Amino acid sequence: MNRIAQLVSVFALGLTVSMMAHGHRAWIKPSATVLSGEDAWATFDAAVSNDIFHVNHVPLGYQRLTAIGPDGKSVELHNAATGKYRSTFDVNLSQGGTYKVFYASSGLNARWETEDGERRFWPPRGVAPTPEGFEKEVPEKAKNLQISQSSHRIETFVTAGSPSDTVLKPTKVGLEMVPVTHPNDLFAGETAEFIFLIDGKPAVGAKVTAIPGGMRYRNEQAAIEVVTDKKGKASITWPEAGMYWLNAEYSDDKGKKPAKQRRGAYVATLEVLPE
């Protein structure tokens, strides 16, 4: 096995992951997060946009997304389609409990300088990293060679009936959120607690930002910014009801060889209900 085959496990999102790193925001937004009835359905939009929850840039391809039911098994995405600015699909909540819809990837990226001082990056924007591509394109020795281990996760949660926690268990890969407060049990005026893990261990000092939807109609983002404590815990008091875009970012120098740096990005769409 070559020097990075064990490290590169990529569920490629291609262009849209690059968009996340260039100032655009990716998100998966459900029509509702708490539903009742024996045959409940939820509709989802998935996109990468300049303004949160306003479709104005590119779609997030539904082919890259996975839905998991309360029993931990995959659930079908019904009526899926991709338009100019967004993807849409439905999920039948046939079981009682909490569902998760998500995208996750992890892999390596590199940057260096040539002998002529030209800057090089791998993978190029819009190209999915592969072990073969890394071996072919990234030199083992180069000026200012920096190799990073990175992960991206985008997710949201919906509950039919009573909430459950099977889909909330961490995979111990990349930056993840482990809710102390259930993500479908959030109320205006109350404080929610979330623990963030990096490869299964507390992500100490991760920067967490929550921004309410409707920013297109405000002169400011109205962002709530907190930093995780020594247990990886972040606490957020919700000022008002509505949909929120939550983002966490983490970096350290504990990447697995050949990487030195380790970076993680996490995004969730959460609904805060009236008190």
Domain boundaries in the chain? 15-106+148-272
**Residue 1: its pLDDT value, please?**
38
Element (DSSP H or E) covering residue 92: strand 87-93
- Contact call for residues 197 and 232 (beta carbons, < 8 A): yes
Per the model's pLDDT, the better-predicted residue between 35 and 13 turns out to be 35
Whether residue 165 contacts residue 100, with contact meaning beta carbons closer than 8 Å, is answered with no
- Read off the DSSP letter of residue 72: S
pLDDT at 17: 44
213-254 confidence digits (pLDDT tens): 998 899 999 999 999 999 999 999 999 999 999 999 999 999
What is the H or E stretch that residue 143 is in?
strand 143-160
Residue pair 4/130 in contact (Cβ under 8 Å)? The answer is no
Each residue of 115-128: b (16+ CB within 10 Å) or e?
eeeeebebbeeeee
Cα dihedral 73, 78, 81, 87 sign: negative
Strands 119-122, 143-160: parallel, antiparallel or unpaired by DSSP?
A: unpaired
**With b meaning 16 or more CB within 10 Å and e meaning fewer, what string describes 13-43?**
beebbbbbeeebbbbbbbeebbbeeeebbbe
For residue range 59-109, what is the model confidence (pLDDT) as tens digits?
A: 999 999 999 999 999 999 999 999 999 999 999 999 999 999 999 988 888
- pTM attached to this predicted model: 0.87
Task: Quickly name the fold that domain 15-106+148-272 has.
Answer: Immunoglobulin-like (2.60.40)
